[in-house]
Amino acid sequence: MTALFHHAFLVRDIAAARHFYGDLLSCREGRSAPAWVDFDFFGHQISLHLGEPAVSTTRGEVDGIQVPMPHFGAILDRDAFDALAKRLMDAGTTFVIAPRLRYEGQPAEQRTMFLLDPSGNALEFKAFRNPEHIF
């Protein structure tokens, strides 16, 4: 087994989180209890716990664009990124930063998008043209 990432955070509404992560993002649900639920988040474990999120309005600057901080997400292959972007757009998702190309023509060229879950937790999804330049 390779090392997997685990991220636990608060959500205001478990049902809304189940819809967002399970139905919209197509993450497989794992174990759960009335006050928490786990998901397979693109091969990693996220644990959503009922509570009041500590949502920040802080922004960081990347490539001249203000991005929400903190945030988490997944690096996908280009086909998976495009399919997810289309699914989100077709669902009428409001993006913090709509799907776009960043660092065009550079080694780290990537597609990226930012959005908020129903509790205001910020997520970023990326797809690199050259995966060897992720780091």
Q: What is the pLDDT of residues 33-90, one digit of tens each?
A: 999 999 999 999 999 999 999 877 788 888 888 999 999 999 999 999 999 999 999 9
Region label for 84, one of left (φ > 0), alpha (ψ between -120 and 50) or beta (otherwise)? alpha
CATH number at residue 72: 3.10.180.10
CATH number at residue 22: 3.30.720.120
Q: Give the pLDDT of residue 55.
A: 73
Q: Give the pLDDT of residue 128.
A: 97
Tokens of 61: 């600057």
Give pTM, 2 decimals: 0.92
Are 63 and 22 found together in one domain? no
Strand partners, 7: 46
Contact status, residue 119 vs residue 107, Cβ threshold 8 Å: no
Residue 126 has pLDDT above 80, yes or no: yes
Are 63 and 80 found together in one domain? yes
